[in-house]
Structure 1
């Protein structure tokens, strides 16, 4: 396909796709296209200006640090020059160096007491000075450590020869080590610690060499920022002498990862000393650096600050991202404004579309009124008629479901009440046959409370304290038939007694425990306990009813659970299992479980745990709600 035909095909595809977009989408796209160009131009200009500002600030900041370090170095230079001048001006030292005969003992003692002490005082007054040393080639001058030495110790040093060749002016010399001239130990190694030395030849009279003065200072004191122990990883100072030796810290140095940096610094310094031109920018290994240089007057040396641009570039990158984010935010804002305006312009169609979407999501429909008529108004009218018809059908279905549930609940109530009354009357019959009238009177009192509670069904919900009292009455009635009664242990805090529960939801569980927890032949047991406990977690109440009966074996427990949770009632001839809290197929637990789910939801109900010989526990889960209907949090 030719390029022109391919271009036409692409354009036709785009126009077809564009034509299928909604009017609102096309309007928003037009707004974005209109503002995108100016935004890009402004952003480019702003980014360039901010980039230059960051770099300028980095240069100014580090140049300031460099000048402060230079000021410190100048202070140290003045201290060294002052020390050298004081030593040079000492007449007693000059006389000692000009001895033409062996000095007497008294003269040496007097010199040591006066002149030597004065020389030591010079160094003491300047603690940054490491050494103050005087060298002499006079055979009548004795070495007095650590100040006076023979020139033979240093005569072969290059810096000594350079100082001699100057014939009087001061010489500054930078050295990588500080040797011990006294050599007090055999095979003593040189201390690898760089220093700077100020050398001045003593000529008296002019042209007559009698000695040399040397003032030493360690570079970590001479230029502390060059040898700083603070490792920020963003800058490093270098001191470069007239021989282009680089003095700097050895650890965390830029030179370790940038092998060509040292040569680049040397080359630029050579060009700078010839032409005065200096290139501040340097790149290596994909990293950018600033080389900020300043000369040290009078020493023929330079102080250099190498600054990593990594943090600066990160700041610039964050600024760029901020600008991009602002542009995106501005475009989004304009898009939202355009969306709101278009929605206002097309509000009738929008309202109808939203109403249809809500109905599709299952939300309730509210009648909408479309003003202005037209096709949109007619469509809204027919849609409203359709939704009214659907709502009527839904209301009829809901009413039928409500009536069905009410009938089901009524049936459950009747089943529970009939079952309970039948068992109660059987107990009273046994009492009349076995006991005297006083006992019958007590039993009837408890039974009356039970019957009043049972028949007064004005609400589905009661306080937990009322349900507990009903259970206590039931246990008192049932204990009439046992020689060794069942003990009811209630462990419930008073704060939970106001919680609402379904009426007759706990009593059937206790009833099944009384009747089925202890098998025949175990009536004589003296330690029959039913324990009721309550706990709370995540807004739900957990009530546990535990007996210490025979328990249920796993197979029968599984069958029991299937019967309780099944939606279909068990057949009338269902084979039940004894020894548990309830017979599989009995109405007690199944009815309670169904009521809990009907009133509270599928998340609530009963759960049964049991072990043979260790008793059975029925756990009931329900929401913590006060009797007023307010759910507690």
Structure 2
């Protein structure tokens, strides 16, 4: 996987590197703008989404509070009706009656107290039933208010109300059954209702009967059973036992069968933890479950809000944001492309000029107005081309000079052949006269002349340079009473080293001319020792004589002469001899040639002990010559 990722990245880098500068700049602008746009759009979308959801929750919470206020008013009306019936002593006495009342008592009760009971219900038209149940079997039932308790003793709410011992019990029922059972065999009409139930206990602990105040849920919570159908919201009310009551038609439950279970679970969780999750999703549909408790009656009011329209608005807003971002990026891209084309126009001109020069066309110059990096690049390119043209002219001139030098060398070689032949003739005469010393000297001189005139290149093998030095010493020993001894401490493998031609001979010549310039008659043991060592891939050649050496002051002057930069007129100011006592021109020329051909790290270094010795150290890289190839 890592290799595959690396290969893909390499392919992309190669492809990206071949794009034009303008394309890469436009892509960079898009990338720079796209990041903040996406970030702002993301947070804007989240903020708008949260705003829509918060507005929907606030709106439906307000509707719930209005409905809750209506329900509280209905609760108060039912409680007031129950309290008025409970506090009427005549009613209590009638319910406590264990004997058959007289006709007059019945007429009086019916014309006064019963009329007042009817008035309670008449003054509260939302109340469906006001019913009083008596424990006594002797009481006369007066429809539709007063009944015997045995008619409802089997109802589930009856035992619950008895356990509360006079406290209110609120019970939600899906039907409104008729206690008279006048329609036996016929199912009661499905009208859910809420009932306020309260035990009549006078005195305390003495059961008398039961008060029941009923109100249909369509009046108790009209928005839950409203006839105005709203496809975007549906209100629920939950009673005891977490029963759900809502409208039957056009309900969310038809397409979302798990909605009831989800509401029940959240109500149970709310009762345990006090936490409520407002978001719900089923079958790809999103809902808001806005909830408010009805603590007084142990119920809850719930509004289920479909997010379909809200999501459409959010989606429209999202598409609008995306469209604006795309339009903005396209506009910025177009502007960036035009501006880059204008800015990079001079760079393209410079590129085209470079291409023409690369094809071999003559450079005639380029004029770019304005400054900046492109103008500076064009300026330096013009300078570079001018320098190249100058170098080309110099190379042509140098080639012409080389040809002329070759012609002169050829002419000199013709003269040299005449000298060689003359020396050979003199050598033969010396051998005839049995002058072996003269013959050997002429042989050495001929070798020196051949070495000097045969200039086929700057580099020679060390063995050739050493042989030339041996010839030089033999020739020079003719003039000395006490000859100079040449000592060589060179391993055979170093004889194949590459050295500059005529680089060692001038140093040996300086030693011959100046090392024993004073007091040479008294010094019989005169020697020059050449020793070669190697360190870190570099060759160190030490040329040491046992002459009179140099004083510290003279050694300092010699170093100054060797390492001085060449200036006009310097050659004329030095010594003609070019030795230790002169200006050191010979050594300086060798030092400069070494640095010219090998680099600034190489060259000569002179050390001396006054009255004892002088050593010249030459440092050069290790290069072996095998035929004409460097190894």
TM-score when scaled to structure 2? Answer: 0.52
How many residue pairs match? The answer is 349
CA 1:61 to 1:260, structure 2 compared with 1: closer, same or farther past 3 Å?
Answer: same
Residue 267 of structure 2 is matched in structure 1 by 269
Does 2:303 match 1:301?
no
CA contact (8 A) 2:294 2:300 kept: yes
Q: Supply the distance in 2 between the matched residues of 1:336 and 1:231 (Cα, whole angstroms).
A: 52
Q: Supply the distance in 1 between the matched residues of 2:251 and 2:213 (Cα, whole angstroms).
A: 29
Alignment of 1:21-60 (within 5 A): 28-60=26-58
Q: Supply the distance in 1 between the matched residues of 2:50 and 2:82 (Cα, whole angstroms).
A: 47
CA 1:108 to 1:38, structure 2 compared with 1: closer, same or farther past 3 Å?
Answer: same
Residue 152 of structure 1 is matched in structure 2 by 150
Does 2:107 match 1:105?
no
Kindly report structure 1 stretches of 4+ aligned residues shifted beyond 6 Å.
343-348
Q: Supply the distance in 2 between the matched residues of 1:122 and 1:220 (Cα, whole angstroms).
A: 20
Residue 12 of structure 1 is matched in structure 2 by 14
Q: Supply the distance in 2 between the matched residues of 1:346 and 1:8 (Cα, whole angstroms).
A: 28
Residue 143 of structure 1 is matched in structure 2 by 141
CA 1:55 to 1:98, structure 2 compared with 1: closer, same or farther past 3 Å?
Answer: same
Residue 71 of structure 1 is matched in structure 2 by 69
Alignment of 1:210-225 (within 5 A): 210-225=208-223
Tell me the CA shift for residue 126 of structure 1: 0.6
Residue 515 of structure 1 is matched in structure 2 by none
Residue 175 of structure 2 is matched in structure 1 by 177
CA contact (8 A) 2:96 2:134 kept: no
Q: Supply the distance in 1 between the matched residues of 2:278 and 2:63 (Cα, whole angstroms).
A: 16
Q: Supply the distance in 2 between the matched residues of 1:15 and 1:230 (Cα, whole angstroms).
A: 68
Helix, strand or coil at the partner of 2:253 = helix
Tell me the CA shift for residue 121 of structure 1: 0.7
CA 1:164 to 1:374, structure 2 compared with 1: closer, same or farther past 3 Å?
Answer: same
Q: Supply the distance in 2 between the matched residues of 1:334 and 1:215 (Cα, whole angstroms).
A: 73
Residue 285 of structure 2 is matched in structure 1 by 287
Does 2:308 match 1:310?
yes
Residue 87 of structure 2 is matched in structure 1 by 89
Helix, strand or coil at the partner of 1:249 = coil
Tell me the CA shift for residue 242 of structure 1: 2.6
Does 2:116 match 1:118?
yes
CA displacement 1:367-423 (0-9 Å, x = unmatched): xxxxxx999xxxxxxxxxxxxxxxxxxxxxxxxxxxxxxxxxxxxxxxxxxxxxxxx
CA contact (8 A) 2:170 2:196 kept: yes
Does 2:335 match 1:337?
yes
CA displacement 1:71-113 (0-9 Å, x = unmatched): 1111110000001111112222122212232122222122111
Residue 241 of structure 2 is matched in structure 1 by 243
Helix, strand or coil at the partner of 1:270 = helix
CA contact (8 A) 2:177 2:188 kept: yes
Q: Supply the distance in 2 between the matched residues of 1:64 and 1:170 (Cα, whole angstroms).
A: 29
Tell me the CA shift for residue 14 of structure 1: 4.7
Helix, strand or coil at the partner of 2:296 = coil
TM-score when scaled to structure 1? Answer: 0.51
Tell me the CA shift for residue 142 of structure 1: 0.9
Q: Supply the distance in 1 between the matched residues of 2:32 and 2:99 (Cα, whole angstroms).
A: 102
Q: Supply the distance in 2 between the matched residues of 1:336 and 1:229 (Cα, whole angstroms).
A: 58
Q: Supply the distance in 2 between the matched residues of 1:75 and 1:186 (Cα, whole angstroms).
A: 35
Helix, strand or coil at the partner of 1:128 = coil
Residue 488 of structure 1 is matched in structure 2 by none
Tell me the CA shift for residue 293 of structure 1: 2.0
Residue 129 of structure 1 is matched in structure 2 by 127
Quick check: 297-306 or 2-11, which moved more? 2-11
Tell me the CA shift for residue 9 of structure 1: 3.8
Tell me the CA shift for residue 336 of structure 1: 4.1
CA 1:161 to 1:5, structure 2 compared with 1: closer, same or farther past 3 Å?
Answer: closer
CA contact (8 A) 2:98 2:139 kept: no
Q: Supply the distance in 2 between the matched residues of 1:118 and 1:5 (Cα, whole angstroms).
A: 97
Helix, strand or coil at the partner of 2:62 = helix
CA contact (8 A) 2:285 2:308 kept: yes
Helix, strand or coil at the partner of 1:201 = strand
Residue 402 of structure 1 is matched in structure 2 by none
CA contact (8 A) 2:175 2:189 kept: yes
CA 1:13 to 1:274, structure 2 compared with 1: closer, same or farther past 3 Å?
Answer: closer
Q: Supply the distance in 1 between the matched residues of 2:196 and 2:75 (Cα, whole angstroms).
A: 9
CA displacement 1:266-294 (0-9 Å, x = unmatched): 22222222222222222222222222222
Q: Supply the distance in 2 between the matched residues of 1:314 and 1:227 (Cα, whole angstroms).
A: 27
Tell me the CA shift for residue 153 of structure 1: 1.2
CA 1:154 to 1:338, structure 2 compared with 1: closer, same or farther past 3 Å?
Answer: same
Helix, strand or coil at the partner of 1:257 = coil
Larger radius of gyration: 2
Alignment of 1:136-535 (within 5 A): 136-338=134-336, 341=339
Q: Supply the distance in 1 between the matched residues of 2:101 and 2:294 (Cα, whole angstroms).
A: 43
CA 1:295 to 1:9, structure 2 compared with 1: closer, same or farther past 3 Å?
Answer: closer
Helix, strand or coil at the partner of 2:208 = strand
Q: Supply the distance in 2 between the matched residues of 1:297 and 1:33 (Cα, whole angstroms).
A: 57
Give 5+ residue unaligned stretches, structure 1. 349-372, 376-633
Q: Supply the distance in 1 between the matched residues of 2:11 and 2:172 (Cα, whole angstroms).
A: 77
Residue 518 of structure 1 is matched in structure 2 by none
Residue 586 of structure 1 is matched in structure 2 by none
Q: Supply the distance in 2 between the matched residues of 1:330 and 1:9 (Cα, whole angstroms).
A: 31
CA displacement 1:506-562 (0-9 Å, x = unmatched): xxxxxxxxxxxxxxxxxxxxxxxxxxxxxxxxxxxxxxxxxxxxxxxxxxxxxxxxx
Tell me the CA shift for residue 25 of structure 1: 5.8
Residue 511 of structure 1 is matched in structure 2 by none
Q: Supply the distance in 2 between the matched residues of 1:246 and 1:6 (Cα, whole angstroms).
A: 60
Q: Supply the distance in 2 between the matched residues of 1:277 and 1:150 (Cα, whole angstroms).
A: 45
Residue 495 of structure 2 is matched in structure 1 by none
Residue 480 of structure 1 is matched in structure 2 by none
Q: Supply the distance in 2 between the matched residues of 1:56 and 1:44 (Cα, whole angstroms).
A: 18
Q: Supply the distance in 1 between the matched residues of 2:149 and 2:262 (Cα, whole angstroms).
A: 39
Aligned-pair Cα RMSD in Å: 2.8
Tell me the CA shift for residue 160 of structure 1: 1.2
Q: Supply the distance in 2 between the matched residues of 1:8 and 1:161 (Cα, whole angstroms).
A: 83
CA displacement 1:438-497 (0-9 Å, x = unmatched): xxxxxxxxxxxxxxxxxxxxxxxxxxxxxxxxxxxxxxxxxxxxxxxxxxxxxxxxxxxx
